[in-house]
Structure 1
Amino acid sequence: MNYLAHAYFSYQDPSITAGQMIADFVKGKQLYTYPARIQQGIRMHRALDEYTDRHPATRRAKAIFQPECGAYGGVFMDVVYDHYLANDETRFNADTLTQFAATVYALLEEQHHLLPPMFQQVFAYMRTQNWLLHYREWDGIFSSFSGIVRRAKYFKRPATVPFAVFEEHYLTLGDCYREFFPDAETFMKGQY
């Protein structure tokens, strides 16, 4: 899962939200330098990532990306799941997603001093470019894919490659999301 899903599964708890959002920037024993609730958010993020990777629907979705994207298929799939979440009318519409994104940014801003320096830089882009809202749009997905490609050490293809996979298999990937997400929600409620 990517940023929107991790924020969604934080249930607007400020410390859990911070932990979920910074988890990829906290390594090893750094975990223990954070307050207990932020540590819980970091652990929740990691548990969700593991659950997501093991889920049969995610495995099928990654297999769609694998021929063109290799091991990076899972990274692109995380962004794709956020796209379907952003467009899931049972959870968001354009207005509620806009409000949700603003709330998440405010929660993170309140705890800015606790955020790792690398995530502070990411957060600046996230907020000014409104990533959480832009997962809803195809342009936002292409932009996210472009960012992944720019940062990827071993993926040497243009963002148009994974985006073409996304376009071609849009309905099937949506089916994978709809199979996966209710299970993930049940799993995450057990983590809280």
Structure 2
Amino acid sequence: MNYLAHAWLARHSDDAILGALLGDFVFGQSGLEDWPTPVRAEIVRHRRIDRYTDDHPAVVAMRTRFGGLRRYAGIVLDVYFDHCLAQGWDRWNDAPLGAFTARIYRILEARRTELPGRLAALAPRMAAHDWLGSYARRESVDAAVRGISTRLSRNGDRLLACLDVLRADEDAAQATFETFFPELVRAAGAMLDAG
């Protein structure tokens, strides 16, 4: 899953949301030691959620539809699943999407001095352009993937090629989300209960 879904799955506390966002920026066991327990627990849960997502049969099946681009398909699907969540936000939430994304941006701003360099640099742009709220618009998926492709050390063109496959098979990607996401919500809840 991408930033919006990770943050939403951690909505029970601000520390948890921070940890969910840090999951892509804090590496290894030693990196965890720098964070208080609630943040650290959510970083670990982020990693478990990523593993669950990567191994989920519906997601695995969808990635195979990308053929030789399977390795990059997971990135595109993560972004697309955030789009699906944002587009169907009212189905999953009582509060508006804008209220939730504003909360995320407030958390990032309040904790800016603690953020790893890459996230500290990214957070103001994320808020200024409402990246997370913009996922409700389909064109934001393509824009996000184009941005990610420029940050890859190599094969950004292969990531971009995944967008053509996604456009051609978008109904299947949407169906994958519909199958997968409710199961992820239950699994993530169990991960939280298990500690």
Common topology (TM > 0.5): yes
Q: Which runs of 5+ in 1 are unaligned?
A: none
Do the aligned residues in 1 keep the contact of 2:149 with 2:160 (CA within 8 Å)?
no
In the alignment, the residues of structure 2 paired with residue 139 and residue 18 of structure 1 have an alpha-carbon distance, to the nearest angstrom, of: 27
C-alpha deviations, 1:117-159, integer Å up to 9, x for none? Answer: 2111111221112111111112211111101211122324276
Q: 1:5 to 1:156 in 2, by over 3 A?
A: closer
Partner of 2:163: 163
CA distance in structure 1 between the aligned counterparts of 2:106 and 2:65, rounded to whole angstroms: 36
Render the CA deviation track for 1:148-191: whole Å, top value 9, x for unaligned.
21112232427652222222111110100000001100011112
- Alignment partner, residue 22 of structure 1: 22
Matched residue type, 2:40: Q
CA distance in 2, matches of 1:70, 1:160: 12
Q: Which amino acid aligns with 1:143?
A: A
Q: CA deviation at 1:99?
A: 1.4
CA–CA distance in 1 between the matches of 2:155 and 2:67? Answer: 12
> 5 Å matches for 1:8-47?
8-28=8-28, 29-47=30-48
The answer as to whether partners of 2:83 and 2:137 remain within 8 angstroms in 1 is yes
CA distance in structure 1 between the aligned counterparts of 2:49 and 2:187, rounded to whole angstroms: 8
Q: CA RMSD in A?
A: 1.8
Moved over 3 A (4+): none
- Structure 1 counterpart SS, 2:92: coil
Q: Distance in 2 between matches of 1:159 and 1:187?
A: 28
- Tell me which amino acid in the other structure corresponds to 2:8: Y
SS in 1 for 2:154: coil
CA distance 1:43–1:160, shift in 2 (3 Å) = closer
Q: What CA distance in whole angstroms lies between the structure 2 residues aligned with 1:135 and 1:46?
A: 22
Q: Which amino acid aligns with 1:73?
A: A
- The CA distance in 2 between the partners of 1:13 and 1:44, in whole Å, is 14
- Equivalent residue for 1:188? 188
Residues 16-75 of structure 1: CA distance to partner in whole angstroms, max 9, x if unpaired? 1111101111122011111111101101100100000110111012112343x3411111
Q: Could you tell me whether the CA contact under 8 Å between 2:72 and 2:158 is conserved in 1?
A: no
- Following superposition, the deviation at residue 116 of structure 1 comes to 1.0
Shift of 1:3: 0.3
8 Å CA contact 1:17, 1:108 repeated in 2: no
- The equivalent residue for 1:91 is 92
What is the alpha-carbon distance in structure 1 between the residues aligned to residue 7 and residue 32 of structure 2? 19
Contact 1:12 1:104 in 2 (8 A): no
Unaligned runs of 5+ in 2: none
Change (3 A) 1:132 1:156: closer
Cα distance change of structure 1 residues 153 and 38 upon mapping to structure 2, 3 Å threshold? same
User: Match for 1:76: what amino acid?
Assistant: V
Name the CA distance, whole Å, in 1 between partners of 2:160 and 2:34.
Answer: 40
Give the Cα separation in 1 of the matches to 2:36 and 2:67. 38
- The total of aligned residue pairs comes to 190
